Amino acid sequence: MSLQPSAVSPYRLLGADEPHPLEVFNPQGGSDFFLICEHAGRLLPASLGTLGLDEADRSRHIAWDIGARDIAMELAALLDAPLYMQRYSRLVCDCNRQPTVASFIPGISETTVIPGNANLSPGEIGARVEEIFQPFHDAVTQALDARDAAGRRTILATVHSFTPVYKGVSRPWQIGVLFNRDTVLSPQIVRYLQANTDYEVGVNQPYAVGDDTDYAIPVHGEKRGYPCVEFEIRNDLTTGRQAVADWARLLAASLRDAAQLVAV
């Protein structure tokens, strides 16, 4: 799937001096683990201005996964894993959504209206797919293809965060473990976290992975037959160097433990 803005419309999203959507950390990582962080950044292309939002809204969870990038980078270092991160705000386009679903470019996020996402033309939507979504996922695909071609084992994990309160409803979980078809890695991670922490562990909470909406786990993980898991960490617990280090150590320990059960 690729929408070419030049073929559809004259729209151009990113300027020549603006960053590529992909940020890679530890690309030569030698372990079996491969990490993705789709909501690592909150950049907005200059062509979109502020999307009609003030700085407070552009800094909130609606724009990115607070703390996820720092934890993912620490985790990648501990595991010696490649980490592929996406720099632009999910308000531009959500790189963990299928481009065909309404939430890919949200008109409303939680209860906040996003004025700059209203009444977009096919060309404007196509530019976001072609210049943000596609380059990021093409890079992930190429990296995984190379691992497969080299006969390397791959265990895929994605790192996210979530809000403690959503639309006025408190969420009791400190961490969520999300999965769909995986029957070995993810359930063992749940057991490990339940046995080794006092956290309330959400099993497919506060979200669930599905083919019709999610992208990274179904496409990069399940379609390739990889053991795969999505971590969700409550973002009021992700602030500060110590919190980042503690979460990374815990996730690394849970992944290493569960990986022992996964057939080579």
pLDDT at 6 over 50: no
Per residue in 151-185, pLDDT (tens digit) is: 999 999 999 999 999 998 999 999 999 999 999 99
Mean pLDDT of 119-136: 96
> Would you place residue 212 in the very low, low, confident or very high pLDDT band (cuts 50, 70, 90)?
confident
C-alpha 216, offset from chain centre: 7
Fold of 5-259: Aminopeptidase (3.40.630)
Residue 221 clears pLDDT 60, i.e. is over it: yes
**Cβ proximity of 42 and 58 under 8 Å:** yes
Q: What is the pTM of this model?
A: 0.95
Residues 53 and 76: beta-carbon distance below 8 Å: no
Longest dimension (CA), the chain: 56
Stretch 225-239: mean pLDDT: 97
Residue type, 244: V
pLDDT at 264: 59
Stretch 111-120: mean pLDDT, rounded? 96
To the nearest whole percent, how much of the chain has pLDDT over 90?
A: 92
Read off the pLDDT of each residue in 181-203 and give the average, rounded to a whole number: 97
With cut-offs at 50, 70 and 90, classify the pLDDT of residue 205.
very high
Res 213: pLDDT? 82
Query: pLDDT tens across 129-156, in order?
Result: 999 999 999 999 999 999 999 999 999 9
Q: Is the pLDDT of residue 9 over 80?
A: no
Asked whether residue 36 carries a pLDDT value surpassing 90, the answer given is yes
- The b/e string for 193-223 (b: 16+ C-beta within 10 A; e otherwise) is beeeeebebbbbbbbebeeebbbbbbebbbe
